[in-house]
Amino acid sequence: SSGINAEYGRGARVRRSIGLGKVGQIDPFLMLDEFTGSSLEGAGFPDHPHRGFETITYVLEGEIIHEDFLGNSGILKPGDVQWMTAGKGIIHSEIPGREM
């Protein structure tokens, strides 16, 4: 299948299928990423901000631990969906759980 493979975060392997075009100084309108990695390998997306857009996480297998600096946290498991409105200045992280 088409897409670009890259590493983001800390050892996280990402395949971007949508949002490949370079659009200058603006963010892509839509991106579709597939993430693989394991907490046992130290992979994940440690503390980072977003710039006021929506993210949707859907877990096919394993689990993702999501936390932010406001004290919100949760564990996403297979079949779970999380819709996050990424507000300005909020720092958060997504780290694979032991089941990834």
Lowest-confidence segment of 29-33, 55-59, 73-77, 80-84 by average pLDDT: 29-33
Structure tokens at 59: 């877990």
Phi, psi of 39 (to 5 degrees): -65, -25
Give the DSSP per-residue string, 23-85. Answer: -TTS--S--EEEEE--GGGT-BEEEEE--S-EEEEE-SSS-EEEEETTS-EEEE-TT-EEEEE
Give the pLDDT confidence of 39-74 residue by residue, as tens digits: 778 788 899 887 767 788 889 888 999 998 889 899
CB 62 within 8 A of CB 100: yes
pLDDT beyond 70 at 100: no
Which pTM was predicted? 0.74
Specify the pLDDT at position 28.
Answer: 58
Closest CA to 28 of 8, 51, 46, 49: 51
